[in-house]
Amino acid sequence: MIAYHAGLFPKGHYGVSLFFAISGFLITTLLLRERERSGTVSLRGFYVRRVLRIFPLYYAVLLLYVVLTLFVEGDPVRETEFFRNLPFFLTYTSNWFVDLHGSRVIFYFAWSLATEEQFYAAWPWVMRQARTWRLPVATMAGLMAVGQGIDWAASRGLIDGEHLYARILGSIQSPICLGCLAALALHLKEGFAWGWPLLGQRWSALAWAAAAGASLVFPVPEFLLFVALAGWVASCAVQAHSWASPVLENKGLRYLGTISYGMYLLHMIALNLARRVFSPEATWACLVGALALSVALASLSHRFIERPFLALKERYQA
């Protein structure tokens, strides 16, 4: 995402799609394991864990944006727009009500976090009510079909792609749905047996990663990229000793994964500061500077903001 916002990787925004696929797969797997172990899903435990994981740093960074907008921004139009949007940032509804297609929207990236929070708000209820695999599969397959249909209609000018329902139900949700469906399928004995030949080989993770890379290079339907991303996530989970394991187990990359939430929240501050130090035209220098500063800021935020709340979160582990 840093490279994308620095202007060096035009398709870098699909990193968010990968995150959505990971989230759908991980959350569904955790909910399935909890229900299998205890016979139900504790909604209280789930929401307390999510609040402790997500809210403290999110609202701390949002407060920082309020301060920076008041005292550093300098553009009265952008300041007014930010404070008009602030209620939607506070309530995780910016993906519904904030115009994301202006020339520059302060705290723009909150749309992805809002999408995640809405997924967290609804999906555990479905999993708690489900007695078999049919309800959750039908829910996610239905949502994905609706989203793909809306995107298809918008691409042909049949509907306004910027309308509220198009923004809420468009294909942005497809990676989450596919991640959930992959987890649901692999949890079933029959589904695991079917998926093993494609997902469980030592070469599987690299093959799915190559398929995702090819989908970014060649003009294929976007949905195929989402399928490849979900397959990549699932293959990494199914086969612990794949050819990709040396990369996935690299201590440096694992540390970046640990602080990735903070990096995502703070990367635009880091990038804007790098642009002031160098210049907006020095894209590579800005990228390197923003990456280094994002790691430094995220390390501090993880140490002093996230970790104390994560320690509390362990009390509510399923």
Query: Is a pLDDT exceeding 90 seen at residue 303?
Result: yes
Query: Is a pLDDT exceeding 90 seen at residue 163?
Result: no
| Cβ(272)–Cβ(109) below 8 Å | no
* Better-predicted residue by pLDDT, 317 or 236: 236
Task: Compute and round to an integer the Cα radius of gyration of the chain.
Answer: 20
**pLDDT number for residue 170:** 63
Query: Is a pLDDT exceeding 80 seen at residue 172?
Result: no
Residues in the chain: 318
Give me the mean pLDDT over the 56-70 stretch: 96
**pLDDT number for residue 215:** 94
Q: What is the pLDDT of residues 188-201, one digit of tens each?
A: 999 999 999 999 99
**pLDDT number for residue 162:** 65
Average predicted confidence (pLDDT) for the chain:
89
Which residues touch 294 (CB under 8 Å, ≥6 apart)?
A: 2, 263, 266, 267, 270, 271
**pLDDT number for residue 318:** 57
Q: What is the pLDDT of residues 200-236, one digit of tens each?
A: 999 999 999 999 999 999 988 889 999 999 999 999 9
- Rounded to a whole number, what is the distance in angstroms from the first to the last CA of the chain? 32
DSSP-assigned states of every residue in 141-205: HHHHHHHHHHHHHHHTTSS-TTSHHHHHHSGGGHHHHHHHHHHHHHHSHHHHHHHHHHHSSTTHH
**CA separation (Å) from 118 to 70, 107, 174, 300?**
29, 18, 14, 28
**pLDDT number for residue 164:** 60
- What is the share, in percent, of the chain residues with pLDDT greater than 70? 94
Residue of 210, 177, 208 lying closest to 195 (CA atoms): 208
Q: What is the pLDDT of residues 66-75, one digit of tens each?
A: 999 999 988 8
**pLDDT number for residue 102:** 66
Query: Is a pLDDT exceeding 90 seen at residue 147?
Result: no
**pLDDT number for residue 304:** 95
Residue of 231, 179, 177 lying closest to 205 (CA atoms): 231
Query: Is a pLDDT exceeding 90 seen at residue 161?
Result: no
